[in-house]
Amino acid sequence: MSETPELSPTDWVRDQTQRILADGSTDGVQVYDRPIVLFTTTGAKSGKKRYVPLMRVEEDGKYAMVASKGGDPKHPSWYFNVKAHPRVTAQDGDTVTELVAREVDGAEREHWWELAVAAYPPYAEYQTKTSRQIPVFVLEPAPSE
């Protein structure tokens, strides 16, 4: 497995990630004046580490990853990575935390969806653009081993 995470092939995502890496912090790196978190996932097939900057949705030390892909009919590729390898690293500001992700549904999903839309209102519009229910992962601190 590769230890150095790969940058996104998408220009604006790559630029955003490179700025975070250069600054050593997500502080000051925003999308539409909203803060982001830099997640590091592991490729489902390749096993390669990959950077995924997403909107900051946090509550009580837990984070959400919203697989919106802007309302695209397909899940973002990172969705499958997190399903296959739920151990994820989150960088919020200059703090890096090891977390474990789980996809949520029912009332728990609704709670996190409301937090997500409050953090980034375009998520609500994205949901109207697709017939799939946009998946939400909740990430909690990894248990000590």
Domain ranges of the chain: 11-141
Q: Which helix (H) or strand (E) holds 78?
A: helix 77-84
CA triple 138-56-124, angle to 5 deg:
80
pLDDT digits (tens, 9 = 90+) for 93-116: 999 999 999 999 999 999 999 999
With H, G, I as helix, E, B as strand and everything else as coil, classify residue 120: coil
- Report the Cα 3 to chain-centroid distance in Å: 19
11-141 fold: Pnp Oxidase; Chain A (2.30.110)
Residue that the structure tokens 């081993």 belong to: 145
Mean pLDDT across 115-122: 96
pLDDT one-digit tens code per residue, 16-67 = 888 888 888 888 777 777 899 999 999 999 999 999 999 999 999 999 999 9
More confidently predicted of 115 and 144: 115
pLDDT attached to residue 13: 83
Would the pLDDT of 143 be above 90?
no
Q: What confidence score (pLDDT) does residue 51 get?
A: 93
Longest dimension (CA), the chain: 42
The pLDDT assigned to 58 comes to 96
Residues 37 and 64: their CA atoms lie apart, in Å, by 10
